[in-house]
Structure 1
Amino acid sequence: MFQRRRVIGVMGSGTAAHRERVVPLARWIAEHGYDLLTGAGHGVMRAAAEAFVAVAGRTGISIGIVPGKVTARGYRPRPGYPNPGIELPLFTHLPLSGKQGQALSSRNHLNVLSAQALVVLPGGEGTRAEAVLAARYRRPIILFGEAREFRRFPEGFERAPSLERVCDWLLSVMR
């Protein structure tokens, strides 16, 4: 019988890795048999993917939504994508991100819609755009970090300062 894969998206800064939170989170996701989805870039995305694939005996895979564009020479992924921790790169022609992260040509729509639950760490305009899209598409989302790190995010999102709280939330959402 067909069984849908259980995918958890981890979103956050493309520059800051937030390793102290991301590494234990990604390991927990792998150890519990889920798949990991990121935007395939650096920062949080790379730290999560590398920690996830380092877990021995895991059954899940590391999936990355790779932004790119079509040129006269064919398809080109954004330089530096996918990061080395991505096992299944999903290449898209959607190039926009950052301040344009809610635009119809942004791969953020795929990031948000492809996961059953989203854990969002601190980040910039693109990360905020993913949070807004999650609300628009009614996707389960939790912000992982201190309240001050999410001052510029819209109100109304569940927030968790601890890994334990995030993991409890994920277990309840992924049932």
Structure 2
Amino acid sequence: MFQRRKVIGVMGSGTQAHRERVIPLARWIAEHGYDLLTGAGNGVMRTAAEAFVAVAGRTGISIGIVPGQATARGYRPRPGYPNPAIELPVFTHLPLSGKQGQELASRNHLNVLSAQALVILPGGEGTRAEAALAARYRRPAILFGAAREFRSFPEAFERLATLEEVCDWLLGVMR
């Protein structure tokens, strides 16, 4: 019988890694048999993917939604994408991000809609756009970190400060 894969999205800064939170989270996701989805870039995305694929014996895969552009000469992913720890790159022609992260031509829609649950770490305009899209699409999502790190994020989501709280929340959502 067909069984849909269980995918957890980890969203966050493309420049800051937040290693102390991201590495144990990504390892937990791998150890529990889930797939990991990121935006395939650097920062939180790369740290999560690297920690995830480093788990021996895991059954899940590292998926990355890769922004790019279709031109008269063919397809071109954004420079630096996908990061080396992405096992299944999903190449999209949607180039927008950052300030334009909620526009229809942003790959953020795919990031948000492709995961059954989203863990959002601190980040810039692109991460805030993903959180806003998660609220718009009513996707299960939480913010992982201190409340002060999420002052400009949508109020719709619970803010969890510890890995244990995040993992408990994920277990409830992923049933």
TM-score of the two chains, using structure 1 as the length reference: 0.99
Shift of 1:65: 0.1
Paired positions, count: 175
Identity of matched residues, %: 87
The question of 1:90 aligning with 2:90 is answered yes
- Residues 34-61 of structure 1 deviation map (CA, whole Å, 9 limit, x = unaligned): 0000000000000000000000000000
Task: Check conservation: 2:67, 2:94, Cα contact below 8 A.
Answer: yes
**Structure 1: distance between partners of 2:154 and 2:22:** 22
Secondary structure of 1:37's partner? strand
Unmatched runs of 5 consecutive residues or more in structure 1: none
Q: What amino acid does structure 1 have at the position aligned with 2:75?
A: Y
Shift of 1:156: 2.4
Q: What amino acid does structure 2 have at the position aligned with 1:161?
A: A
Q: 1:78-117 maps to which residues of 2 (within 5 A)?
A: 78-117=78-117
Counterpart of 1:45 in structure 2 is: 45
Task: Check conservation: 2:65, 2:107, Cα contact below 8 A.
Answer: yes
Superposition RMSD in Å: 0.4
Q: What amino acid does structure 2 have at the position aligned with 1:82?
A: P
Q: What amino acid does structure 2 have at the position aligned with 1:89?
A: P
Q: What amino acid does structure 1 have at the position aligned with 2:168?
A: D
TM-score of the two chains, using structure 2 as the length reference: 0.99
Counterpart of 2:132 in structure 1 is: 132
Task: Check conservation: 2:145, 2:162, Cα contact below 8 A.
Answer: yes
Shift of 1:72: 1.9
Task: Check conservation: 2:135, 2:154, Cα contact below 8 A.
Answer: no
Q: What amino acid does structure 1 have at the position aligned with 2:56?
A: A
Counterpart of 1:26 in structure 2 is: 26
Shift of 1:138: 0.8
Unmatched runs of 5 consecutive residues or more in structure 2: none
**Structure 1: distance between partners of 2:158 and 2:152:** 15
- Residues 74-127 of structure 1 deviation map (CA, whole Å, 9 limit, x = unaligned): 000000000011000000000000000000000000000000000000000000
